[in-house]
Structure 1
Amino acid sequence: MDQYKAAVIGAGPAGLAVVATLLDQECIPILWIDPNFEAGRLSNYLEVPSNTKVKLFQQYVTTSPSLNRFSSKALMPFVGQDPDKGCPLNLAATMVKSLTDSIRKADSTRVHCVQKVVKELAFSEGRWKIDGADECERVYLATGSHPRSLPDTGVEELLLDDVLTPTRIPELVTNDDTVGVIGSSHSAILALKNLHECATIRPKKIINFFQSPLLFAIYKEGWILYDNTGLKGEAADWAKQELQSGNLEKEKKLERICVKDYSPEEQVKLWQQCTKLVHAVGFDRNPLPKILFNWDELKQISYDPHTGKIADGLYGCGIAFPEKTVDPYGNQEYAVGLWKFMCYAQKKIKL
């Protein structure tokens, strides 16, 4: 049985930020566990444009001394990119993978990496035990989330991750399909854009079902209004040009239906006009390990959105356990993004 100061479960951007912060504070040895060590879900979105500026990806690296050691190689993909604009997420995924590989190689005596899925966390006598073996003082869950699925409607559901990948569109739809996209989020807008702009195939009809009107991030002096909920980057530009203007509706290329005042049953009837549906509303946590606290199983997992604390010595971070923020106007949002994960780790992990 090995003893560790901390364990980090998950090797996506949030898990990497926590490992880097622990290294910065000399909280070692660290146990780092992930089934793949391939940048987490970020590696699913290689063709997706970011809603984050390049300079924030760069700051993610340079803010942590432990990551900054590897900055010359990790930031190579961003050479020539405008720091004040977005970029394809494959550049960010390549960066995270490069940093992960560098830590695994250079810090192998301080960070023990294990490639597996954790099945059980058990706390007793002031320590956490992982799968009945390794012990540590604290555990950080950076286990990620996945797009929320629809209830059964009788209509074929297309996976959001697939629709967000333009090169997959010809395999997903035909010229005879009516495709419904549910939502008005960043992901929903990109799904609409990809379906409309596919060069080789285009659905007979595209319908956007939404409850909330288009919301755009507004850049203020030193902060961003609707930073986490508003549209940014390429998605915002396309939404303004094609949706907010009404261009696509005028050209009969897309229909938008507000379902705010419809009952769930009425919404399902509308969806059933379609032959295929894309759900782009919200994310659910990936499955967590079984968690035992003093021999009692924690079945309803809750956390403090300001500190990440789930239980004594157990913390959540990343998209599964995001930080709640309040902007100068009093709006509450959950902060999601690489730079925000790093800020959260640097701010909240104090040993």
Structure 2
Amino acid sequence: MCCNYLIMILSFSSQTRKIMWNSMTDATSPALSRTYATPCATLTEAPSVENPAASDMLVDKFGRMHNYLRISLTERCNLRCQYCMPDEGVELTPSPQLLSQDEIIRLASIFVGAGVDKIRLTGGEPTIRKDIDDICLRLSSLMGLKKLAITTNGLTLAKRLPRLKECGLNLVNISLDTLVPAKFEFMTRRKGHERVMDSIDAAIQLGYNPVKVNCVIMRGINDDEICDFVELTREKPINVRFIEFMPFDGNVWNVKKLVPYAEMMDRVLQKYRGVRRLKDHPTDTAKNFMVDGHLGTISFITSMTEHFCSGCNRLRLLADGNFKVCLFGPSEVSLRDPLRSGVDDSGMREIIGCAVKRKKAAHAGMFDLAKTTNRPMIHIGG
């Protein structure tokens, strides 16, 4: 793909965001096969899209096809989780600089037209956005989109979920890092544990199966609850996902707080017999297991100790219209600015494709990431 547009890369220094203009011309890019960069995984069929040529915009120089788009609907949140937001809070982008509903739908339609078949809505907290019902309804109507998901803290989900399901939301992830109400208040700096538990039950009752429960494990804070969460899967058809603590701007990451996957797994095996590994999809970010006799399952997301960059199929559209090709990479491309400048869909595909082609083979590793200035997690949405 030859990219003739100048696009804005936002590189974050420790003090300010420096804006650099880079020419993205690359007329010598080799032809790319649609092969996931993992030893055992080949995508045998090209995505079914209206314009097959457009799908090249989603293939990077390592042959990874990106069919999964995460869209942050807002930077606002009704919790203040320690691993997500610094103590002093974050500076919010002025509302006029955030993507409107129409802009979200137009960009989503470009991605879906090129082969994206899964979209996840994130935040901040996505249920805070007043027009989320309409956004879900319009996204679920896009031809070619197979899965519409949400990651939410669950505080207001129980009352909103019936309507969201009617609007096409078919996958639910709920963040919950502790089963102890007092500890929940400490970790999130807010009350609301019971409401989150109610949302998990509401999602189960509405037929979401599995309901995924995301749990960030931090040593000395909630690592003593790993088996308690496993026990939760005995009677509930949920998938508890244990996530290694990751470094982001403002969350005071320290390797001493990291509980590696191997250690978490050892704790589970010490208590439970009949723990079986489940088959993974090549683009899975999680290692999946079932405990004999349990309705639910458990998973481990090992971003730090055993990264899964080689099979990465994810892209991120932030609430302010910036585009990230890597969760941990500081570089971003503005899609809002060319969109508002009148660039047509063909031009937008070229800008997106250039950014995807620049994606690196892997992130820098946890120790280098800890020294790299990135956005706070609340601005990215995971």
Q: TM-score, normalised by structure 2?
A: 0.30
Higher strand proportion (structure 1 or 2): 1
